[in-house]
Structures are given as C-alpha cells and as structure tokens.
Amino acid sequence: MISKTLKLTSRDIHYMSQKAYKKRSALGTVMIIRQYPNRHYHQLGIAISSKIHKSSVKRNLVKRMLYTMLYRYVDSLLSGRDIYIKCFFVVSQQDLKLRELLHNKFTHTTQIQDYICTSISQDYFTHSFKACIHYLDKWNFG
C-alpha cells in the first residue's frame, strides 16, 4: 500500500488535467508534470471508471496493483536522475481484456496482476511514458 503523501490530491489532478503533458496508450492516458522543487518524491494518481466494473472492491483492487507497479516503474525509470514527477493515469474504458478479467467470477487476482504487469511492460505504454519524461526534460515543463 502506498502512503497518502505519495498520492495526488484532487487539486493536483484538476491542475494536471489543464496543464500537464498528456500521452495516450492502449492501457490508458498518462498525464505528467514536474514535481514541486521542495518535494523529493514522486506522486501518483489513478482513475478507474465505474464502466470498467460496477464493484468498487474490484476497481480498488486494480488501483492498488497499479499504484505499486507504477511507482516501482517510475522509480526505476528515473533512478539516478534529479527529477521528480506527478503522474496521473486514467485507465482506458475500452480495455476489453481488463473488463473480461474483472467480470469473470473465477479470475484469480494473480491473473489480473499478470495482465497489468505485462501491459505496463509492453512497448506502447513504456514509449508513451518515456515520451512524457523526455518532454519534461527537454522543455523544463512544470
């Protein structure tokens, strides 16, 4: 579980929806902005629509998995660099495989975790995330 300080507030999300650099992938939309200079940690936010699954228990399960995986991914991607980011990730409603996994009663949590892990490690998500980081480096955005 990720601590409250590492999660985005609603004020940050509102600001990011207007000002952040956005990039879409098949898994969802990534919005990234540079962290405040006095904060030396990354902050993450994740949104999952109720259209993906009606049960908030299932959506929160996916959120918890995404928080831990994305934080590890961001930390490994930016390790050794003096850059900290705020990242907001909106899961795509058109992700049919995730919907199918959540609606199946016999799906085990490890199957969901494996799908999310492979989706994050695939090229289209990695490329969109690295493009956002490159944009922040190039233009000193934020």
- Cα–chain center distance at 89: 4
Residue pLDDT, tens place only, 33-87: 888 889 888 899 999 988 888 889 988 988 888 888 888 888 888 887 788 888 8
Q: CATH number for the domain including 35?
A: 3.30.230.10
Position 22 pLDDT exceeds 50: yes
Residue 112, domain extent: 4-126
The verdict on residue 49 lying in a domain is yes
Angle, in degrees to the nearest 10, between helices 96-103 and 56-77: 130
Plot region of 140 (φ>0 → left; ψ -120 to 50 → alpha; else → beta): left
Residue pLDDT, tens place only, 106-140: 888 888 888 888 877 775 667 777 777 777 776 55
The verdict on residue 140 lying in a domain is no
Predicted TM-score (pTM) of this structure: 0.80
Structurally, how many domains does the chain consist of? 1
